[in-house]
């Protein structure tokens, strides 16, 4: 099974860069996924990594190291609208469900 760990809360300044870490322990591995959830709304898919390395998507990038059981989400040029919870999720190989961490609540301040 999975054991996913993320910081509970983070605060960053508008225009800055923030890195949200996620560590996981799983018996196998089938990908690491990031979701964004604004307060009062449903989560939305952001990105995923299957292989080691950095995946860039505009202001957002996600990194994965499978050997270390570690991933991070990098948000650049922070905007107030980036204030949200960021959820890390993993799925073991085979017919298993996607399991989420408890999420990191990011507050962007002026």
Partner 1 sequence: KAGVTQTPRYLIKTRGQQVTLSCSPISGHRSVSWYQQTPGQGLQFLFEYFSETQRNKGNFPGRFSGRQFSNSRSEMNVSTLELGDSALYLCASSPESLREKLFFGSGTQLSVL
Residues near partner 1, by CB under 8 A: 30-31, 33, 35, 41-45, 48, 87, 89, 91, 95-103
Q: Which is nearer to partner 1, 34 or 72 (CB)?
A: 34
CB of 48 to partner 1, least distance (A): 6
DSSP string spanning 13-60? ETT--EEEEEEEE-SS-S-EEEEEE-TTS--EEEEEESSSEEEEETTE
CB of 63 to partner 1, least distance (A): 18
Q: Which is nearer to partner 1, 58 or 97 (CB)?
A: 97
Burial class (CB in 10 A: 0-12, 13-18, 19+), 8: exposed
CB of 69 to partner 1, least distance (A): 18
Q: How far apart are CA 23 and CA 101, in angstroms?
A: 9
Q: Which is nearer to partner 1, 16 or 57 (CB)?
A: 57
Total Cβ atoms within 10 A of residue 108: 20
CB of 39 to partner 1, least distance (A): 11
């Amino acid at each position: 099974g999975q054991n996913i760990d993320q910081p509970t809360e983070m605060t960053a300044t508008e225009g800055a860069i923030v890195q949200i870490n996620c560590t996981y322990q799983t018996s196998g591995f089938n990908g690491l996924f990031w979701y964004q959830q604004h307060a009062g709304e449903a989560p939305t898919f952001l990105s995923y990594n299957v292989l080691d390395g950095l995946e860039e998507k505009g202001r957002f990038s996600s990194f994965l190291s499978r050997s270390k059981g570690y991933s991070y989400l990098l948000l650049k040029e922070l905007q107030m609208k980036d204030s949200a919870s960021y959820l890390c999720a993993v799925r073991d190989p085979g017919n298993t469900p996607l399991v989420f961490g408890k999420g990191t609540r990011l507050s962007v301040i002026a």
